[in-house]
Structure 1
Amino acid sequence: MVRSASKRVLLLMTALLLFSGCAKVQTDLPTTYGKRSGGAASSVNGTKALSEMFREAGYWVRSYSAVSPNLLRHDVIVWVPDSVIGPDDEFRQVILNWLDEDEGRTLVIVGRDFDAAVQYWDDVLPKVPAEKKLDAMRQRALAIERFDETRNTFAKNGDYYFYTLERDVPRRVAKNLKGPWAEGIDASKTNIVLRSKMKPATMKSLYANAGDSEESESPIELIEDVDVLLGTDEEAIVARLGSDYSANQIILINNGSFLLNLPLVNPEHRKLAGKLVNQCNQADYDLDQVAFLETDYRVPIRSADDSSDGTSGWEWLSRWPLNMVGLQMAWWLIVLCFALYPIFGRPKRLPAAETSDFKKHIDSVGDLLEATDDYGYAQLRLQQYQQVMKGDAVYRRSKSRRSEGK
């Protein structure tokens, strides 16, 4: 079984995403969608918490912004596009070939039809003071407007080979959960928001579309069976495309309303995310690599590798040829630091400074006079000293008060 995300990540998400609006309205709310590293890791629409759950399960997690040979070496690909458009023909063919190359592989497609910024303001609005409520309502309205603009940019319906999407449906919250993933889940405590209706492809539609396409030899027999893992009211929320003849699979998820950073604060949502991690873990295969593919409406497909673990600043050590000599360089740098800076052996006692050396006194007085940056004052003090040494009279301020002389 997959362990829950670490306490540090959950506490961070809870404090940042839920309670940041209790004392003041956070107008600079980070809302970058589908990223797990860098400055976007703390976004309400980020995937940092989900990636940490994969990491806790023993996977090595990396992020990619394009399809590359290095991406296709991973066992599990989680695609979280910042677009309601599904996979195009070129990306679909690459995925089918990737599934056909080896066994135990999983592609997870997370739909875009959800924005956690709206949910954030819904949660914050009852908690802000009365004098801040109007500003919070304005921020909520702006978040809804931005999300609607994103949705209305594209067609209402779309056929993306693996599934079809109907977006001209009312907004609803799934409370009557069904399917294998619904076991052990308290549906009344979930908040799965649906804005569109996802229909997984059937075997008939897959073969029909394959016959119309130029790539008629696509290995569609790998995904000819459909299983609804989580649904509500005869509607699929999470579906699996697979086959009895292969251990490969495609997991279709309507949206990220239970997988993004803010929704994963909910314990029931973390249970569902744990079921996703378990679903990707093929028992008969040694899987240890997960790739998060972060793109927008277009998926770049490149022949060169393009990957990143984040923005730690040490990625250059993993590039050739530095990855071949990096450890040796680090070792010799450590030896050099120990040779130059630390003091080994018994510490030496430095000779004590002599206080009877009158030259040091003169040097100190000279430094003080130089610090005044007043040539006339320095000359006056020097003349007074010379008069004292000669025994001449030196003017001094009288200590007697004026009243005593009367």
Structure 2
Amino acid sequence: MAFLYRDWLDAAPGRRLLYVPRDFDAESEYWSEVLARLPQDAPAKLREGAQRRRDETKSWAGHLPPRAKDPAPAEVWFAVAEASGPPILCKTLSGEWAAGIDPAAAAVTRHQTLKADNEEHVLLEGDGRVLAMEWWWDEPTTRVLVLANGSFLLNEPLLHRARRPLALRVVRWIGPAPRQIVFVESRSPTEAQAEEMPSPFALLGIDPFGWIAAHLGVFALLACLAASVRLGRPRPAPAPGSDRPAAHAEAIGDLLARTRDAAAARALLDAYRRWRHPPSPAPAARARRH
């Protein structure tokens, strides 16, 4: 992927790329905050549940994928320094971006850090380890910013006001509009590339695409079952009711109602009544006797 990013930067001047390796999990910090803010009279079940979730997420660094056995050369992009232990909080912050930042209040997490050479400009260090660096690509308008992790970019970490100035420095690095910016979050660009292009079905293994596909599959199955032929003993069709004496008159009434001609309907009804019930002839007057 490093070659892909390099080709994109070379395609046009003024492009910028922000790269953040996925080396941070805010869930453990979140549950620690929940425990700290629980009142003293909180239910024991609620406190135990929060403690269990915090303990389960403390070891997030152990669930990271292993480094590739044959990674791409670091000269193509940049190098990552292996972590010497579990994630810790930086006691000191230095560099341009550290101005006005209280390290204790910011509590920036440090695990795997970056390796900087002479071509890269270090912006932030934690305990003497590189956390943020940038470099120019052929010209000053084309730049790359790499952060060691997203411990001051994610939603939960930004609840701490002391970390917001660091996120603001990232926003200011992007510069005013219009800009062509790409934000990349991944493990490490120096990992070996896959020998084959990933299949579109590989998205099913990434949350939440797998759950979305499962729901769509269930809905499609229900739609097919609803539209399919119903199997079982056939039921007789309901009687149309045409054998009722009044059915013919009702049908004629419906037809007359469609014409919306009340005068013609009355004339037909009068003609029908005269035909059905003709008037009886008047009796002959008896001759008077003289």
TM over 0.5: yes
Match of 2:150 among 235, 256, 277: 256
Offset of 1:187 from its aligned partner?
2.4
Alpha-carbon distance in structure 1 between the residues aligned to 2:183 and 2:128? 30
Deviations, residues 284-325 of structure 1 (Å, cap 9, x unaligned): xx52454545678889799xxxxxxxxxxxxxxxxxxxxxxx
Offset of 1:100 from its aligned partner?
1.7
Residue 275 of structure 1 is matched in structure 2 by: 169
Report 1:1-400 matches (<5 A): 91-128=1-38, 129=42, 131=44, 132-145=46-59, 147-151=60-64, 153-155=65-67, 160=74, 161-170=76-85, 171-200=87-116, 202=117, 225-242=119-136, 245-281=139-175, 286-288=177-179, 290-293=181-184
Task: Letter of the 1:163 partner, please give it.
Answer: F
Larger radius of gyration: 2
TM-score (normalised: structure 2): 0.56
Task: Letter of the 2:96 partner, please give it.
Answer: P
Offset of 1:119 from its aligned partner?
0.6
TM-score (normalised: structure 1): 0.41
Deviations, residues 345-399 of structure 1 (Å, cap 9, x unaligned): xxxxxxxxxxxxxxxxxxxxxxxxxxxxxxxxxxxxxxxxxxxxxxxxxxxxxxx
Alpha-carbon distance in structure 2 between the residues aligned to 1:165 and 1:233? 16
Alpha-carbon distance in structure 2 between the residues aligned to 1:290 and 1:242? 14
Whether the aligned pair in 2 keeps the contact of 1:175 and 1:190 (CA below 8 Å) is no
Task: Letter of the 1:110 partner, please give it.
Answer: V
Over 3 Å counting, the alpha-carbon distance change for 1:156 and 1:194 in structure 2 is farther
Deviations, residues 177-202 of structure 1 (Å, cap 9, x unaligned): 111111232223102111222213x3
What is the count of residue pairs matched by the alignment?
A: 185
Offset of 1:269 from its aligned partner?
1.6
Whether the aligned pair in 1 keeps the contact of 2:16 and 2:182 (CA below 8 Å) is no
Whether the aligned pair in 1 keeps the contact of 2:90 and 2:107 (CA below 8 Å) is yes
Unaligned segments of structure 2, at least 5 residues: 200-290
Alpha-carbon distance in structure 1 between the residues aligned to 2:21 and 2:164? 18
Alpha-carbon distance in structure 1 between the residues aligned to 2:84 and 2:142? 32
Over 3 Å counting, the alpha-carbon distance change for 1:253 and 1:130 in structure 2 is same
